[in-house]
Chains A and B, each alone.
Chain A
């Protein structure tokens, strides 16, 4: 059966009133009007709300929404010896910012960065929840390396740390650990290194490992990328429709998450357009190997739009599955 998932992030605040207004709670915490414990409660309540919203929209594989993440890299950076968050820079071709990691010494993993929120999300639903981590190539591309002064050494050191984090997530029950490599499409010369890094991260893991690409085109690297030692590949086919044929002409040996909905534009996709794309994928790969997803984290959108898009995605998946079921019954 064709299933749906989200790419990772999810809007944490809304224009509509919410039971817990995280934005306000953070302001209050800054002004010391609420305690750490109260803020913690607000975070947990927000994760639970986001999990519930995904569930009621009909998403199959959920995320915790990354509501504590200021950006893709900082949660990991804060848990690494040898790295600290630096100044704000523009995040790829988005009008949002990230703190670039400043590497000051040997990278060492101090302890889990993402496991608590993972457990909160998994505890709030009976559906599976996936875990998401930044990829080592993206991390090294966006970092300011004052210590190794060597891209490969930095990427390998980060991979070792991510391996530790992945083990902790596996122990917490994550059925899929998704490694986000938005920068990889722009780094064709580093594909072999990226592959070696993925081997490091996935070493000895029993749970599934996936690689997610977005923002940059991956046509140039697809031949190598599809042979990576992972079980799941996420590819943008919304902003880059040519990548649908790219995958269908040379599918990897595993599951593919088709980013068929644009997470960076408010225009709502038609259900039938989505369904047609997904049907092409299921016809070629078999429904069990296909996932429908936005092409990136939904946090680029206002909350109300994200909700509509998520519901539309689930509708399209339902339509495809309905038709397939109809065919099977005949």
Chain B
């Protein structure tokens, strides 16, 4: 098996023509079909870029998604979208609202997954937003409790995961960036993830970020996925010290560049980060990627950050291949 496989978390920056097209579509000046063609064009570019850079596990870049919860809310029965609420400063968004029983009417992510996978021999990850995050980032006017809401989302996300698997996805990522916001709810988040992943044959992954991981670690290791995708670069690899105290029992996709910073990390910096990680993790356990989705970066920044990741992973992989294997019995 190739050590230190490289991947990315999910979203890519939208090319300018797609941003303009989405605005026109919002004003009904562009048809859904015309927008769809441009989304495919952008997806081709995202796949081509990842192939050119030599990443191992690819993503479709989420060119057809605006926000990671609204994208699903818009397609699910029982959900609406709120008026404007503020995100920060002068930035506003529309928040999903659960208004009735949540039901899936049709596959939501499968067509774009299939399209992206048809463009490459390398595996493309299926990408879903987890039940806990869907709940935490929506208003709820229907279910009596947060737990009921979380479990209802789990059911529809399970259906979607099965469809992705049926369509050929070997990797299914269920993002839970909100997971660390209420540590006391970790057990119900875990219960919900069981509904989503139990019995799936695809490798399951969950990404989380902006986290106070120390409040949910090591309990987080109970989350029923095979791989956790976690940020390390933007908090100076504090995660490594946590793992030093309590061993990490899953695979990890380690964020080694900051997705929210314009600055491009140097190869040496990233290599040093991977070295730090390998003090507490076995190389077979580790994948390498950015901290988070790259949608807030420019196309050039995204490209350069991913290029550094690939170079750094290549260098460390080389070092590891030269290192004599430690004798098994001593």
Chain B residues with CB below 8 A from A170, complex form: none
For chain A, residues 274 to 330, give those with C-beta under 8 angstroms from any C-beta of chain B.
299-305
Chain B residues with CB below 8 A from A93, complex form: 136, 178, 181-182
CB of B83 within 8 A of CB of A300, answer: no
A90 within 8 A of partner (CB): yes
Contact of A27 among B88, B90, B210 (CB under 8 A): B90
Contact count band on A: 20 to 34
CB of A97 within 8 A of CB of B84, answer: no
Chain B residues with CB below 8 A from A26, complex form: 90
Which of B85, B137, B141 has the most C-beta atoms of chain A within 10 angstroms of its own C-beta?
Answer: B85
B97 within 8 A of partner (CB): yes
Contact of B88 among A11, A70, A267, A305 (CB under 8 A): A70
Given contacts A87-B260, A90-B210, A265-B139, contact A96 B86 (CB under 8 A): yes
CB of B88 within 8 A of CB of A302, answer: no
B87 within 8 A of partner (CB): yes
Q: B163-207 interface mask toward A, CB cutoff 8 Å, 1 = contact, 0 = none?
A: 000000000000000100110000000000000000000000000
When chains A and B are docked, how far (Å) is the Cα of A315 from the Cα of B43? 53
Contact of B82 among A13, A70, A266 (CB under 8 A): A266
Contact of A90 among B86, B92, B181 (CB under 8 A): B181
Nearest residue, chain B, Cβ from A217: B184
What is the distance, in angstroms, from A44's C-beta to the closest C-beta of chain B?
17
For chain B, residues 131 to 154, give those with C-beta under 8 angstroms from any C-beta of chain A.
136-137, 139-141
When chains A and B are docked, how far (Å) is the Cα of A26 from the Cα of B92? 13
CB of B83 within 8 A of CB of A15, answer: yes
Chain A residues with CB below 8 A from B14, complex form: none
Q: A12-53 interface mask toward B, CB cutoff 8 Å, 1 = contact, 0 = none?
A: 111100000001001100000000000000000000000000
Chain A residues with CB below 8 A from B84, complex form: 11, 13-15, 302-303
Chain A residues with CB below 8 A from B92, complex form: 13, 23
A71 within 8 A of partner (CB): yes
Nearest residue, chain A, Cβ from B85: A302
CB of A302 within 8 A of CB of B83, answer: yes
When chains A and B are docked, how far (Å) is the Cα of A92 from the Cα of B84? 20
B22 within 8 A of partner (CB): no
B interface majority secondary structure: strand
Contact of A303 among B83, B97, B139 (CB under 8 A): B83
Contact of B181 among A92, A267, A300 (CB under 8 A): A92
When chains A and B are docked, how far (Å) is the Cα of A265 from the Cα of B88? 18
CB of A95 within 8 A of CB of B178, answer: yes
B89 within 8 A of partner (CB): yes
A242 within 8 A of partner (CB): no
B95 within 8 A of partner (CB): yes
Chain B residues with CB below 8 A from A303, complex form: 83-84
When chains A and B are docked, how far (Å) is the Cα of A89 from the Cα of B97? 24
CB of A304 within 8 A of CB of B83, answer: yes
Nearest residue, chain B, Cβ from A98: B88
Chain B residues with CB below 8 A from A14, complex form: 83-84
Given contacts A15-B83, A302-B85, contact A95 B137 (CB under 8 A): yes
Given contacts A14-B83, A15-B84, A302-B84, contact A265 B140 (CB under 8 A): yes
CB of B89 within 8 A of CB of A70, answer: yes
What is the distance, in angstroms, from A96's C-beta to the closest C-beta of chain B?
6
Given contacts A95-B137, A265-B139, A266-B97, contact A302 B82 (CB under 8 A): yes
CB of B83 within 8 A of CB of A97, answer: no
CB of B82 within 8 A of CB of A305, answer: yes
Chain A residues with CB below 8 A from B141, complex form: 265-267
Chain A residues with CB below 8 A from B182, complex form: 93
Which of A13, A71, A98 has the most C-beta atoms of chain B within 10 angstroms of its own C-beta?
Answer: A13
What is the distance, in angstroms, from A165's C-beta to the closest C-beta of chain B?
22
CB of B82 within 8 A of CB of A23, answer: no
What is the distance, in angstroms, from B306's C-beta to the closest C-beta of chain A?
22
Nearest residue, chain B, Cβ from A16: B83
When chains A and B are docked, how far (Å) is the Cα of A303 from the Cα of B83? 7
Chain A residues with CB below 8 A from B88, complex form: 70-71, 88, 96-98
A-B contact pairs, 19 of them (CB 8 A): A11-B85, A13-B92, A14-B84, A15-B83, A15-B84, A27-B90, A70-B89, A87-B260, A93-B181, A96-B85, A96-B87, A98-B88, A265-B139, A266-B97, A266-B139, A267-B140, A267-B141, A299-B86, A305-B83
Known pairs A92-B181, A267-B139 / 12 extra A-B pairs, C-beta < 8 Å: A11-B85, A13-B92, A23-B90, A70-B89, A71-B88, A93-B181, A96-B85, A96-B86, A266-B97, A267-B141, A302-B84, A305-B82
